[in-house]
Chain A
Amino acid sequence: MRRVWSLVVLCAALSLVSCEGAGGGAAPASGDEALAPERLALRRQVLAQLGQQVLGTYQQFVLDAQALERATAAWASSGQEQDREQARSMWRAAMQTWQRAEVMQVGPAGNSSSTVAGQDLRDEIYSWPLVNRCRVDQELVEAAYQDLDAFATERINVRGLDAMEYLLFYQGAQNACEPNSAINRDGSWALIPAQELDQRRAAYAHSLAQLLVRDGQRLHQRWQEGFLAEVTGAGDGSQAFSSTQEALNAFSDAMFYLDKEAKDMKVAQPAGLANCGADTCPEALESALAAHSRENLLANLLAFEQLYRGLGPDGQDGAGFEELLEALGAQQLVQDLDAALLRARALLEQDPMPFAQLLEQDPGRLVEIYQGLKALTDLLKTQFIGLLDLELPQRAEGDND
């Protein structure tokens, strides 16, 4: 009798729900045309697309690094200003690509302690915010960069794109070390003539460019020959990801770069909104010497958009997180994310003035950029991860109830 009663209650509830669904504000779900694609197939399609995007970005970076290597070789051999300029231009191109890769730290590029299959390869290429210009100057004095293999094992803050920025864009005769540091105390810095200093910088930059090519190729190879299959085979034989959900979570974790690194570190800190004792902190700007802070941020945003929309190599729309949300019927969230993306991009593109100059003349504009990014990351941290049941990055595993 009680079973019958339970059945009656269940049927009544179901009919109530049907009425509510028809009359309420929820998304309609009737008719074949309203049906979303089968969810598992769509997830696999999205993962395949995201994997290709990462691979394509690394491939482009290898090409950029090779161009940078040629340009620095030319500068190192000629010492000419026009060759330095060419090298700077190639650095910008490589940095532009790498800033896209920054938002794609999935697998081998990622941190080994917090990323699935992470091998810290990102730090080999770009160690920001671990930047130490004094250490770069010390290496200039020691000239240890001439032995490429040995130098590849040096600490990450004397290698990579960040160290190279200092070598390419700083032309001063002073070093970045304290007066009581070894190279100033023993006079070894002062012994280097100005012209030789330039030659050393060019040779050092060339060594770093060669290492960038190696590291870029290694990262690309690890993806192409192994990790891409882990991503596309998630939940279906992959060793790294036991489900498509885990693999999607890895990409979502990477996209959170926009929150902590981009919004909080690259914008809030220099704008004086966070971790800044003065009204503004221009010293906290990323790539300030190359006046490339805005371009870096824009590349981060474009990479985020690329993953979110699942854009193909030629920019055509593919399968990304946007499609997963649409398949759930979350049209309003998709519209909100679209609007936030457009707004953030417009704020970044509206004025070509370098951030350092902007901080001097109109710091409020940087605050606006922060607000624009925050609007986007607020959506990311709330409804986006909620609807897709994703987790915040580096979440300590534990139980729930």
Chain B
Amino acid sequence: MTRRHWAPAMFVAALCGCASVSPGNPDGSAVVTESPSFVMQLPEGWFVKPVPRRDDRASLTRDGAAVQRWDMDWIRWNAAVRYRGERLRAETLPSDIALQLVAARNDEYGNAWFDVDSVEPLTVAGHDAFRVEYRARQIGGPGRRTVLYGIVGRRGVYVMAFEALETHFFERDIGAFEEFVASLRARRPL
């Protein structure tokens, strides 16, 4: 197996929670997820960090999760939305799902406050999706900005969120994240 074949295979393993060590990404490789079945192009220098016991969640970072992180999460309909206890319902409007996910994420990170700047509909890889942008802060912590995409499918919502320190890192890395989302190709419908 050549290096060209190894890198994507490692990422598949990492995203599926099978690899115990996060591989680096010296060449800018493809990220392949099995559930849902997506392929995305990961920019150079980013690391995948699988979430223990969750083969459908992963985080990526370049300088450390406290500085900037991309979170990918596959939430099926009727699943509890993390710590909120509320369930994700297929009949909920996408704009309401967007705000539900933002509230859940803020709960999870213990932010003192958050302000939503925009929430808009769009299409990602042929699927209905939404993009929500917000700012948040913990007591004593620096300001952080987040862009969260939700791709709505028949079985649930695939979430891709980019969160970074408001100063410097958000502006520096948002372009790479947008390219990462734009590179997403669905191998099978969500």
Does B bind A? no
